[in-house]
Amino acid sequence: MTNIDQVITNGAQSQSDYVAFEKLQYMLEFAKSSTIATILAPILCIPIYMNSIQSWRFNSWFILMTVVVALRIYLIRNIDLKKGVQLNFFWLNVGIGLTTLAWGLGWLLLVEDLTPISYLTYEIISLTVLFVGMVGYCVNLRSFLSFVLPLKVPELIFLILYSQYVVWPVALGSFVTFYLAIKMALLFSRSWEKSIALRFKNESLFNELRLERDVSIAANVAKSDFIATASHDLRQPMQAINIYLELMGLTQKENQNNPIVHKLKVSVEQLNRMFNALLDISKIDAQSVAVHDQPFCVQSLLSEIEEVFGHVAAEKNLSLSCIGPNAFVCGDKSLLQRILNNLVSNAIQYTKTGYIEVKISTVGEYLQIQVRDTGCGISQADCELIFKEFFRAEQTRALHDGLGLGLAIVKRLTQLIDATLSVKSRLGSGTTFLLQTKYTLSQELEHQAMMPAYATTSVEPVSSAASTGSKHIAIIEDDEALLDAYQKLFSAAGFVVHTIPIVHAELSNSLLTVDRLDFVLSDFRLGAKNGVDFIQSIREEYNAEIPALLLTADTSPQHIQMFSDLNIRVLYKPIKSKEILDYVNEYLATT
């Protein structure tokens, strides 16, 4: 902690103590640095006075100077800044005062013949001592007086005793200089105090800002932790609902066209979108979203947007057009697609008639994307607010049941890929979002293999002989409804399902009758032990690195790194049952 931090900690009333401490520290450093000059100055007087005045005069002065210089060195070197400031000031003033007193007594001892030359010589010496000392001690008026008065009082006595021999213009000039030196010392002292007071105030403001920043960071971390925890707890029942709804369509074909079931699915889809928005926000805030630049095809990106949103736009009788060059660019396709998905979804949501256009072009060497719609538009005032979390304009609130996180996610992802996003809109005349990226045209001639997009249709039965070969899967889940849903899902797909008790002590006994395991599916949060503990224990039981998949909503960077280090795959809730099943099947098919 710095000295000023200590003063601030002790309270504002100690500001004057800090100013005094700073002055003391400055003068002490000057006194120490001028020690060599203090020793050399009397020595330089030897050739001037040793043979020109009576020896007893010079010897008396030189012995006196030697004693006071030694005493000065002793006093200054023994000043401890940790002790009281006022006591230190006293000893410093004594040290410098004794030295200048010896110089002052030189008027009575060294100026012997009372000639103008002798007088002027010592006047020059006296003024030199004055100006040199003023540099170091003018910051504190009391110390400067302790330095200068012992120098000038003997001179005044000399002038009174030998007035008839004094060169009065020089004497008057000397005391005018003395007056100006005191005035300058007073000004310097006040200026120093104001400077330190301003520094003190700035430091206080800085500490307040630092405290507010820390509070803000803590609040943001708490918010992210709350979102991650709350979304995890809410996703558990949502995950079960998702799977049961799909199993209803699987086991009872008449339910697929049931309007109540359809409305239920629509509501669940809306909740899933809200949870995914919360998950995206928490992942970005946790800095767990990495950027992976690689070549991809512009037309492939546009085709996927049409595939995802084409039927949604058609249901509202809207035209969706995606225009772009048949070119390859280098950048993170996944993050760009998430940005466009949010923008296109918003455009469809807030457009009643007309069209939505996604146009990709190149400006210079960079990729530029424009998403334009003929929707209800945004007021100029709201254009400044739409990228804030949970903001929803009053005039469009009834058109959308979301949380107001879509554009906040877009803004964060835009910053993540080092792009810029602007919006032009007018109420009733549609909206245009312009995304200027740093994605550059790629010289790749062939597009890299793309992972197939997961379908969103209901789960179909999978032949165990054809697809799984009676694979054995262990499921670890503390939510009974979700555990039952997983059992039904994987049993219907032809797996042999083994449920693992969440009491860690019973793990070994539960595996005694299980000859082999091909895969482990686990929730992450399971009370005292987490899913990683169970997975690692199972691997130790079989002495093999059994493939494992964690289902979680936890996006903390340390956990993501831990999953990667332990070779454990992760999917984030809520996730469709078909995605889970497809993931397990695809993984097992490659091993």
Q: Does residue 126 sit within a domain?
A: yes
The number of folded domains in the chain is: 3
360 shares a domain with 504: no
Of 410 and 591, the structure prediction assigns the larger pLDDT to 410
Domain containing residue 232: CATH number: 3.40.50.2300
pLDDT of 265 reads 67
Mean pLDDT of the 205-219 span: 82
326 shares a domain with 263: no
pLDDT of 457 reads 32
382 shares a domain with 296: yes
> Percent of the chain having pLDDT more than 70?
77
pLDDT band at 449 (very low <50, low <70, confident <90, very high): very low
Measured distance CA(206)–CA(3) in Å, rounded: 15
Mean pLDDT of the 120-142 span: 85
pLDDT of 60 reads 92
Measured distance CA(503)–CA(526) in Å, rounded: 9
31, 76 in Cβ contact below 8 A? yes
pLDDT digits (tens, 9 = 90+) for 457-473: 333 333 333 344 588 99
Query: What is the identity of the amino acid at 546?
Result: I
Mean pLDDT of the 566-582 span: 81
Residue 417 has pLDDT above 60, yes or no: yes
433, 368 in Cβ contact below 8 A? no
Residue 543 has pLDDT above 60, yes or no: yes
Long-range CB contact pairs, 54-59, < 8 A, 24+: 54/112, 57/109, 57/110, 57/112, 58/109, 58/110
pLDDT of 464 reads 35
Q: Does residue 400 sit within a domain?
A: yes
Q: Does residue 537 sit within a domain?
A: yes
Residue 582 has pLDDT above 80, yes or no: yes
150 shares a domain with 25: yes
pLDDT of 527 reads 73
Q: Does residue 89 sit within a domain?
A: yes
pLDDT digits (tens, 9 = 90+) for 466-493: 344 588 999 988 878 778 888 888 888 8
Q: Report DSSP letters for 285-330, one per residue.
A: HTT------EEEEHHHHHHHHHHHHHHHHHHTT-EEEEE--S-EEE
264 shares a domain with 307: no
Q: Does residue 180 sit within a domain?
A: no
Give the chain's mean pLDDT: 78
Q: Does residue 28 sit within a domain?
A: yes
157 shares a domain with 8: yes
Of 112 and 14, the structure prediction assigns the larger pLDDT to 112
266 shares a domain with 342: no
Last residue of a domain, one of 166, 192, 209: 166
Of 511 and 436, the structure prediction assigns the larger pLDDT to 436
pLDDT band at 494 (very low <50, low <70, confident <90, very high): confident
Of 5 and 67, the structure prediction assigns the larger pLDDT to 67
561 shares a domain with 436: no
Structure tokens at 565: 């280090």
Residue 68 has pLDDT above 60, yes or no: yes
Q: Which helix (H) or strand (E) holds 26?
A: helix 15-33
Domain containing residue 385: CATH number: 3.30.565.10
pLDDT of 255 reads 56
pLDDT of 10 reads 41
pLDDT of 359 reads 92
Query: What is the identity of the amino acid at 250?
Result: L
pLDDT of 456 reads 32
pLDDT digits (tens, 9 = 90+) for 362-380: 888 888 999 999 988 877 7
Mean pLDDT of the 227-238 span: 63
pLDDT of 127 reads 86
How many other C-beta atoms can be found within 10 angstroms of the C-beta atom of residue 451? 7
Residue 401 has pLDDT above 60, yes or no: no
Q: 110: exposed, middle or buried (C-beta count within 10 Å: 0-12, 13-18, 19+)?
A: buried
CA angle 213–218–224, rounded 5-degree value = 125
362 shares a domain with 225: no
Can you say whether the dihedral through the CA atoms of 338, 344, 348, 350 is positive or negative?
positive
Last residue of a domain, one of 127, 147, 166: 166
Mean pLDDT of the 266-280 span: 62
158, 103 in Cβ contact below 8 A? no
Last residue of a domain, one of 408, 441, 474: 441
> Percent of the chain having pLDDT more than 90?
9
Among 332, 301, 246, which Cα is nearest to 453's?
301
pLDDT of 413 reads 84
Measured distance CA(109)–CA(427) in Å, rounded: 96
pLDDT of 101 reads 92
The pTM (predicted TM-score) of the whole model is 0.42
Residue 412 has pLDDT above 90, yes or no: no
Q: Does residue 181 sit within a domain?
A: no
Residue 471 falls in which region: left (phi positive, over 0), alpha (psi -120 to 50) or beta? beta
Least confident among 233-242, 516-525, 544-553 = 233-242
134 shares a domain with 46: yes
Residue 423 falls in which region: left (phi positive, over 0), alpha (psi -120 to 50) or beta? beta
Mean pLDDT of the 506-510 span: 80
Looking at the DSSP assignment, which residues form a beta bridge with residue 516? none
Question: What's the domain range around 366?
Answer: 289-441
Of 529 and 354, the structure prediction assigns the larger pLDDT to 354
Among 577, 573, 581, which Cα is nearest to 274's?
573
Structure tokens at 306: 């049409």
